[in-house]
Amino acid sequence: MRRCVVTVGLFVLCSVAQAFDPLGSERDLSAVPPLGVVPLDTELVGGSACPPPFAGGLIPLSDVVKRALCRDPRARQAWADASLAAARLGVARAAYLPTVTGTLSRGRAGQTTGQGGSTLRNDGTSRVGQLDLAWNLFDFGQREANVDSARQTLLAAAASHNLTIQNVFLDAANAYFSLLNAQGELTVAQEVERINLQSFMAAEAKHAAGVGDLSAKLQTQTAFAQAILTRVKAEGALRNAQGQLAVSIGESPDRQIAVDADDARLPDADFVKGMADLLEAAQQAHPELRAARARLNAARARIAVADRAYLPTVSLNATRANTTRDFDSNVAGLDQRDRSVTVQINVPVFDGFARHYQGRAARAEFELADADLRSTEQKVALEVWQAYQTLESQTHALDSTLKLLGFATKSLEVAQGRYKAGVGSTLELLEAQRAMADAAQQRINALSSWRATRLRLAASLGRLGFWSVSGS
């Protein structure tokens, strides 16, 4: 049974839904969803199917992540790596089973014999059928160690697949937040341009009426020109963010795409506990740590393989052959049947020190894997600490930026009223406009940074999932 999934309208991925797996090598891949199913989607049992190509318009964060997980090449590569590791586990388990080889051959031969001036020619046809069986009966645990190493390598590949999926998840979310931030910056730039235009028109009207000086008109005109330039830059940044998000969901960068600009909605942060609990959770659940531990166990198993290579092996060999020869002359044909069964003991004596250096290489790989695990533990702990501290400071900054924006907006309203009444200066008005623009920009940056840091903390715990983008 095969299941084919059309992705991006460009190619078809066919995966075996119920692949022939007589040795059960893919049982450890149960946590790796097949192609065509959204990874990390636990809302539906067994996951949900990948969504169709994007039709345009507004797109929510959860939909961005779904499309990225289905279409990012890194996810397909990680899936293929895990499948390759499962196949190699099957190869290691196959060493427990006998091998049977069948041989069929057919040939024709001629023989000429001369004696006493006479010549005798004898041509004939030969047919051979042979069946060979070879079975390794006992090897002091070499096959067991090989299977253990392959199994741990498969577990490492499955954990690496999960890590890749979470990285794709986080990158897609960051692309979404970048576009959200760019949309907010453009909105602020357009509002600042509108306010500066009003100020310039008021100053120009005063100058035309003879109650305002030329300096005030030129200052407001300069501020208006600067606001236009800022708006143009914001439009360029918006187009770049749109292209980045479109590519992350498998679309062309010129696809028109937008996200909901309602930044009043903030997802919950209930998963954030005390630092000790967060560090413990990361040590247990982070896929990069699970992969590093599995690689260490695989290296330990390879040491056992190298050590047991010095021991003998016991194997069974059996052969059954049937040879038939038919001659064109009156010579009688030949029908020969052979059977043999042998038990063989192979004792390694000397191989040019190859096994010695294989053992040294296995121990060096173990030391390397152990150091990698220690480094990964430190890296994950630091990621949790930094994301936690950053989220704490940004949570406080959210309240501050909201108050700052309120104060700046009120100050601008007062400055505009004073300027229109002729009691406020141009510098006072321009300063109020600049303060309002800065406050609005800081509010947008704080909201975007808080969302991104919240997801980064969830990723550092190894807990990214669709629960973390619900309501975003």
Whether 137 contacts 315, CB under 8 Å = yes
Burial class of residue 352 in the structure, from the number of CB atoms within 10 Å of its CB (0-12 exposed, 13-18 middle, 19+ buried): exposed
DSSP H stretches of helix in 422-465 = 426-460
The predicted pLDDT at position 466 comes to 82
Whether 394 contacts 302, CB under 8 Å = no
The predicted pLDDT at position 15 comes to 43
Whether 192 contacts 227, CB under 8 Å = yes
| Phi, psi dihedral angles at 423 (to 5 degrees) | -105, -10
What does R_g of the chain's alpha carbons equal in angstroms?
Answer: 37
Residue 366 C-alpha from the chain's centroid: 26
Residue 246 C-alpha from the chain's centroid: 18
How far are the Cα atoms of 112, 115, 129, 323, 327 from residue 123, in angstroms, in the given order? 8, 17, 20, 16, 6
The predicted pLDDT at position 321 comes to 92
Whether 173 contacts 61, CB under 8 Å = yes
- Give the number of residues written for the chain: 472
Distance of alpha carbon 397 from alpha carbon 270, whole angstroms: 18
Query: 75: Cβ–Cβ under 8 A, 6 or more apart, which residues?
Result: 39, 69, 164, 165, 168
Distance of alpha carbon 242 from alpha carbon 301, whole angstroms: 49
Distance of alpha carbon 257 from alpha carbon 246, whole angstroms: 7
Distance of alpha carbon 333 from alpha carbon 126, whole angstroms: 10
Whether 210 contacts 293, CB under 8 Å = no
The per-residue DSSP string of 46-82 comes to T--BPPPPP-SEE--HHHHHHHHHHH-HHHHHHHHHH
The predicted pLDDT at position 19 comes to 65
Distance of alpha carbon 373 from alpha carbon 169, whole angstroms: 24
How far are the Cα atoms of 43, 185, 227, 258 from residue 240, in angstroms, in the given order? 33, 13, 20, 12
SS3 303: helix
Distance of alpha carbon 249 from alpha carbon 66, whole angstroms: 8
Nearest to 299 by CA among 363, 374, 375, 376: 363
Q: How many CB atoms are located within 10 Å of the residue 304 CB?
A: 17
Whether 419 contacts 433, CB under 8 Å = no
Distance of alpha carbon 189 from alpha carbon 233, whole angstroms: 9
Distance of alpha carbon 326 from alpha carbon 320, whole angstroms: 20
* pLDDT of the chain, 472 residues: tens digit per residue: 334 433 333 333 334 444 688 888 887 776 677 776 777 665 434 457 788 888 878 898 888 999 999 889 998 999 999 999 999 999 999 999 999 999 999 888 766 666 666 666 667 788 899 999 999 999 999 999 999 999 999 999 999 999 999 999 999 999 999 999 999 899 999 999 998 898 888 888 888 877 777 888 888 889 899 999 999 999 999 999 999 999 999 899 988 899 887 645 677 777 788 889 999 999 998 999 999 999 999 999 999 999 999 999 999 999 999 988 876 666 666 788 999 999 999 999 999 999 999 999 999 999 999 999 999 999 999 999 999 999 999 999 988 999 999 999 999 999 988 888 878 788 888 889 889 889 998 998 898 899 899 999 999 998 888 888 865 5
